Structure 1
Amino acid sequence: MTEWHGDDGDGGTPNAPVFGWMWPEKVPVGGPNTETGLPLVWITQQVVEPQDGRIGRRCVYCYDPEDDPAGDFALGAGADYYNEAMSCDWRTERRVECFQAAEVLYLHASRLGNAMADDDLTYVYSYDRCEGKYWDSVAAGAKFPRPEERLSIAERAFAHCRVAAEAGIAESCYKLGDFLRDGRGCDKDADKAYQWYRRAYDLGKSDSPVYWGSAALRLGKAHEEGEGCTQSFQEAKSWYSRAVAGLSAAVRKGESWYRGALKNAEAGLARAEQEVSGKY
């Protein structure tokens, strides 16, 4: 498997696959094989022919987790595929194929103990990036499905988010709180959701303001509604104020996709201030 070329402007022709996979000829101990359900992965990149401008793909290397003890290569390659998918027209087959490649590579990294891959898999499953067409180990030739494949997509998202949160990733902590608050992929538990929001805030204080700002927004709403904690407009005001500060800093730094969260924080702060003042 060395090289393919397509002939359309998006590189999405049938003779230019986004990635490939194979089972190794010799079954390694603990490595990719039909027992583990995760194969070797052929990594490709989109290329342009300098002579005629045709767009296609070229195979870069074959990913083998035996050469990647910390899962960093798989994480990076998965991120490249994920970013390529996000830049694709949503109507193209290439978009889903890139997300499929990202999923398999993130699964490899997760299996190698890289919790950032679990955070990324939370996104893949939460937003149904592969549109239901996820890695099927049995269809690929494995004897038995991996235990995870028996779970619903929401349950998979929750499971990976929990791994990342327990590893101390602030973003995953407040996401896990959302799962528990809403009962997505798990039973509802407002008390645990609140605890994870607090942990996200504490961890995020030494990280990007978008993390502690996002956690503070959720803590403000929790106190405003009395979900998992004592209802208190004074506490809600305090948390909403911190949310506005953190999310404003994030937006100023160019993270414009948090503008909606910032507006929610500002609206929450206004409600809390009105309740505290008693002036309507």
Structure 2
Amino acid sequence: MLSIMRHFRSGFFLSVLLVFATASGLAADTDTLPAEKARQAWASGNFTEALSIWRPLASQGDPEAQYRIGQMFENGQGLDQDIELAMNWYRKAAEFGYAPAQFRLGLAYLQGKGQPRDSAKAFKWLERAQKQQWAPAQYALGLLYLEGMGVDRKPAYAMTLLKGAAEQGHAGAQYSLGMIYLQGKNVEKDPAKARKWLLKAAEQQHLQAIYQLGQLDNSNKSDPRKIRLAAEAGFAPAQYDLGAAYATGRNGLDQDFGQAAIWLEKAALQGHAQAQFDLGWLYESGKGVQKSLDQALLWYRKAAENNLDQANYQLGHFYEHGLGVEKDAQRAFNYYQAAAGAGNKEAQYALGVMYDLGNGTQQDFSKAMKWYLKAAAQDQPMAMYAIGNLYANGYGVSKDLKVAKKWYCKAASLGLPQAKQMLGEKTDLHMVCDNPLTSSPEN
């Protein structure tokens, strides 16, 4: 399920707010004939004409014209891009009380754009804008107060602000409210309210809302029509879900690896880490695409750059075994270490093996045991078996056949053939593993 905090990742939050500010900007404009003519020229891309109208208006103190010139400097529209000059023009309009300029200036202080970061000034200008019921400012402050970013958390105030923006038709606020009610974040879960707000956002073509409604439809079964609609509109999570549905033959779709590859690639090209990994797997296995370890490596690397632990593990496996690359135990160790540190149980086991054997690193049975135990805690049977071997042989620990038997039994209970063989192929596991009087395996 998507979290509303996706807005805050990698600066996406601020860019989303800027989009909504631009889209909603006309609501606060002054209705004069020259101003309308300038807006029409600007909308059609005729920035020279727009500027010729707004410059004299701005010099007469018209706040909308000052704001628009600030926009043109910020975006390099008809003027050389100059962030400092843009902020100067925004400040002029903001001091006149123009809400869109106050909002832009607040965001600029929040992200340190054109001037040093200053949370106090950021909140001052955002509050001034929201007091004028400027929906983008209400939305921004709502999310900031909800999560306590640069300010103390105030969930009740955050909800008031988000509702204010949502009731004015702000799609981002409507989506956020839907997700808050869906997840029960600082409120009781309320599926009906969640659906209500998500529908309102979806009616405005908010892709995340469309996608989320697809996830919710029909008693937790994803609706492929809504997922496809969001995917075709370019929403990466929906493209990934559609690709995954084709790969597995779920949600009413026939299994089709060719279609899976098409949709996974669309999401992967937008930086969706899991799609990059899954596309790598398709190339590694030759499903839906021509088998290519080079392409598999390319996509695994991209997913690893996005900190996907599975990808780091897979790259470690490739370098350890020389799949499409020269064997390199040191690089394998490094990739395993990155994935293991992120909690990947297969990487934790693999890292334990490397310490156990002294492969790619100095042999260290204590560190091997450390990583085996972490993997075993996540029910990795090979790690349990390896722990049994360390105790059975007294490597890094005192030799203890009873403890070894305990770990062999754990691994055998998960169906590991090696552990069953160690205990005896025809052994009744219940009798051997649950009875303290039975003998321990001897090596």
Q: Mark yes or no: TM-score above 0.5.
A: yes
Q: Which residues of 2 match residues 163-242 of structure 1 at below 5 A?
A: 163-204=302-343, 211=344, 213-242=345-374
Higher relative helix content: 2
Instruction: Look up the match of 1:74.
Output: 239
Residue 236 of structure 1 contacts residue 272 of structure 1 at CA under 8 Å; is this kept in 2?
no
Q: Which residues of 2 match residues 40-51 of structure 1 at below 5 A?
A: none
Give the SS at the match of 1:72. helix
Q: 2:377 aligns with which of 242, 245, 251?
A: 245
CA deviation after TM superposition for structure 1 residue 277, in Å: 4.1
Give runs of ≥4 in structure 1 deviating > 3 Å: 58-66, 277-280
Higher relative strand content: 1
Please, what TM-score do these two structures have when normalized by structure 1?
0.55
Distance 1:153 1:66 in 2: 27
Structure 1 residues 103 and 231: alpha-carbon distance in aligned structure 2, compared to 1, 3 A threshold: same
Instruction: Look up the match of 2:381.
Output: 263
Distance 1:265 1:165 in 2: 24
Greater C-alpha Rg: 2
Give the SS at the match of 2:360. coil
Structure 1 residues 80 and 270: alpha-carbon distance in aligned structure 2, compared to 1, 3 A threshold: same
Residue 158 of structure 1 contacts residue 184 of structure 1 at CA under 8 Å; is this kept in 2?
no
CA deviation after TM superposition for structure 1 residue 126, in Å: 2.6
Structure 1 residues 61 and 73: alpha-carbon distance in aligned structure 2, compared to 1, 3 A threshold: closer
Q: 1:113 aligns with which of 271, 296, 302?
A: 271
Deviation per residue, 1:122-143 (Å, 9 max, x gap)? 222233323xxx27xxxxxxxx
CA-based RMSD: 3.0
CA deviation after TM superposition for structure 1 residue 119, in Å: 1.0
Q: Which residues of 2 match residues 79-98 of structure 1 at below 5 A?
A: 79-84=244-249, 95=255, 98=256
Amino acid at match of 1:271: N
Q: Does 1:276 align with 2:396?
A: yes
Q: Which has the higher contact order (CA 8 A, sep 6+)?
A: 1
CA deviation after TM superposition for structure 1 residue 263, in Å: 2.2
CA deviation after TM superposition for structure 1 residue 65, in Å: 7.5
Deviates more, 1:269-278 or 1:106-115: 269-278
Give the SS at the match of 1:276. coil
Residue 228 of structure 2 contacts residue 242 of structure 2 at CA under 8 Å; is this kept in 1?
no
Instruction: Look up the match of 1:104.
Output: 262
CA deviation after TM superposition for structure 1 residue 61, in Å: 9.4
Amino acid at match of 1:238: K
Q: Runs of 5+ in structure 2 lacking a partner? A: 1-223, 400-442
Give the SS at the match of 2:239. helix
Give the SS at the match of 1:81. helix
Distance 1:201 1:60 in 2: 37
Distance 2:277 2:311 in 1: 6
Q: Which residues of 2 match residues 49-60 of structure 1 at below 5 A?
A: none
Distance 2:273 2:397 in 1: 45
Instruction: Look up the match of 1:124.
Output: 282
Q: Which residues of 2 match residues 143-158 of structure 1 at below 5 A?
A: 153-158=292-297
Amino acid at match of 1:272: L
CA deviation after TM superposition for structure 1 residue 82, in Å: 1.1
Amino acid at match of 1:222: M
- Aligned-residue sequence identity (percent) comes to 26
Give the SS at the match of 1:185. coil
Q: Runs of 5+ in structure 1 lacking a partner? A: 1-57, 89-93, 136-151, 205-210, 249-261
Distance 1:227 1:177 in 2: 12
Instruction: Look up the match of 2:83.
Output: none
